[in-house]
Amino acid sequence: MTKLSNSLGAADIATALHPYTNARRHEEAGPMVMRRGDGVRVEDAQGKTYIEALAGLWSVAVGFSEPRLVEAARRQMEALPYYHSFAHKAHEPAIRLGEKLVEMTPEGLDRVFFTNSGSEANDTVVKMVWYMNNALGRPEKKKFLARTKGYHGITVASGSLTGLPANHRDFDLPVIPVTHLTCPHHYRFGRDGESEADFTARLLAEAEEVIEREGPETIAAFIGEPLMAAGGVMPPPEGYWPGIEALCRKHDILLVSDEVICGFGRLGSPFGCTHYGFTPDIMVTSKQLTSSYMPLAAVIFSEKIYDAIADNSAKIGTFGHGFTGSGHPVATAVGLENLAIIEERDLMGNAARMGARLQEGLRRFAGHELVGEVRGTGLIAGLELVRDKATRESFDPVGKVGTLAFEIAHEEGMVIRNVGDTLALCPPLIVTEADVDEIVARMGRILDRTL
Ligand code: PLP
Give the C-alpha distances (Å, rounded to integers) separating 446 from 104, 337, 431: 39, 36, 20
Residue minimizing CA distance to atom 12 of ligand 1: 118
Helix (H, G, I), strand (E, B) or coil at 386: coil
CB 84 within 8 A of CB 268: no
Do residues 414 and 439 touch, judged by C-beta distance below 8 A? yes
38 and 130 assigned to the same domain: no
Kindly report the backbone phi and psi dihedral angles of residue 59, in degrees, each rounded to the nearest multiple of 5, phi listed first. Answer: -140, -20
Q: How far apart are CA 296 and CA 414, in angstroms?
A: 27
Atom from ligand 1 closest to the CA of residue 297: 15
What interhelical angle do 67-79 and 329-344 show, nearest 10?
Answer: 150
State whether residue 378 is helix, strand or coil. Answer: coil
- Is residue 8 in a domain? no
Classified as helix, coil or strand, 96 is helix
Strands in 371-377's sheet, in edge-to-edge order, are 371-377, 380-385, 422-425, 417-419
Does 266 share its domain with 413? Answer: no
Q: What is the CATH number of the domain that holds 383?
A: 3.90.1150.10
Contact of 38 with 65, CB cutoff 8 Å: yes
Go through 390-399 and write b for each residue having 16 or more CB atoms within 10 A of its CB, e for each that does not.
Answer: eeeebbeeeb
Rounded CA-CA distance 38/51 in Å is 10
- Calculate the alpha carbon distances from 40 to 66, 72, 78, 221 in Å: 11, 21, 29, 38
Closest by Cα among 199, 254, 260 to 225 = 260
286 & 355 share domain: no
- Separation of alpha carbons 160 and 157, rounded Å: 5
Tell me how far apart the alpha carbons of residues 226 and 236 are, in angstroms, rounded to a whole number.
Answer: 7
pLDDT, one tens digit for every residue, the chain (451 residues): 444 456 999 999 999 999 999 999 999 999 999 999 999 999 999 999 999 999 999 999 999 999 999 999 999 999 999 999 999 999 999 999 999 999 999 999 999 999 999 999 999 999 999 999 999 999 999 999 999 999 999 999 999 999 999 999 999 999 999 999 999 999 999 999 999 999 999 999 999 999 999 999 999 999 999 999 999 999 999 999 999 999 999 999 999 999 999 999 999 999 999 999 999 999 999 999 999 999 999 999 999 999 999 999 999 999 999 999 999 999 999 999 999 999 999 999 999 999 999 999 999 999 999 999 999 999 999 999 999 999 999 999 999 999 999 999 999 999 999 999 999 999 999 999 999 999 999 999 999 999 9
Tell me what the pLDDT averaged over the chain comes to.
Answer: 97
**Best CA proximity match to 232, nearest among 380, 389, 412:** 380
The residue from 297, 315, 344 where one domain ends is: 344
Tell which atom from ligand 1 comes closest to the C-alpha of 120.
16
What is the model's pLDDT at position 6?
A: 63
Decide: 436 and 414 in contact? Cβ < 8 Å. Answer: no
* Residues 73/293, Cβ–Cβ less than 8 Å: yes
Task: Look at residue 162 and tell me if it is in a domain.
Answer: yes
Range of the domain at 107: 70-344
Q: How far is CA 12 from CA 26, 28, 36, 49, 145, in A?
A: 10, 12, 18, 21, 39
Pocket test for ligand 1, best of 20, 155, 261 (most atoms within 8 A of CB): 261
CA distance 303 to 310: 10
In a domain, 23, yes or no: no
Same domain for 321 and 379: no
Give the span between the Cα atoms of 334 and 283, in whole angstroms: 20
Per DSSP, helices labelled H in 175-239 are 186-189, 196-214
Cβ(118) to ligand 1 under 6 A?
Answer: yes
Angle of helix 118-135 relative to helix 303-316, nearest 10 degrees?
Answer: 70
Smallest CA separation from ligand 1 atom 7, residue = 153
For the Cβ of 230 lying below 6 angstroms from any atom of ligand 1, the answer is yes
Task: Give the pLDDT score at 3.
Answer: 45
For residues 49 and 191, state if they share a domain: no
Instruction: Count the Cβ atoms, other than its own, within 10 Å of residue 313.
Output: 15
* 3-state SS, residue 355: helix
Distance CA 220, CA 204 (A): 17
CATH number of residue 289's parent domain: 3.40.640.10
C-beta neighbour count of 438 within 10 angstroms: 17
State pTM to two decimals. 0.98
Shared domain check, 433 and 404: yes
Specify if 2 maps to a domain: no
Domain finish residue from 344, 374, 397: 344
Judgement on whether residues 366 and 320 belong to the same structural domain of the protein: no
Phi, psi (deg, nearest 5) at residue 283: -120, 140
In a domain, 388, yes or no: yes
Instruction: Report the alpha-carbon distance of residue 69 to residue 362 in Å, rounded.
Output: 32
Q: Does the beta carbon of 261 sit less than 6 angstroms from any atom of ligand 1?
A: yes
Query: Which amino acid, 256?
Result: V
Is residue 1 situated within a structural domain? no
Helices (H), 186-282: 186-189, 196-214, 240-250, 272-276
- Is residue 12 in a domain? no
Clarify whether residues 316 and 420 are in a common domain: no
Span 102-156, pLDDT tens digits:
999 999 999 999 999 999 999 999 999 999 999 999 999 999 999 999 999 999 9
Q: Is the CB of 119 under 6 A from ligand 1?
A: yes
Residues 183 and 251 in one domain: yes
CA 290 – ligand 1 centroid, Å: 14
Q: Does 98 share its domain with 219? A: yes
Beta-bridge partner residues of 180: 146
Assess whether 250 and 330 both reside in one domain. Answer: yes
Q: Choose one of 313, 344, 375: the last residue of a domain.
A: 344
pLDDT of residue 2: 41
Please choose from 20, 119, 233 the residue to mutate so as to test ligand 1's pocket, defined by most ligand atoms within 8 A of CB.
119
Q: What are phi and psi for residue 331, nearest 5 degrees?
A: -65, -40
**Distance between CA atoms of 248 and 65, rounded to whole angstroms?**
42
> Per the domain annotation, does 16 fall within a domain?
no
For the stretch 67-95, pLDDT in tens is 999 999 999 999 999 999 999 999 999 99
The domain total for the chain is 2
Does 333 lie in the same domain as 194? yes
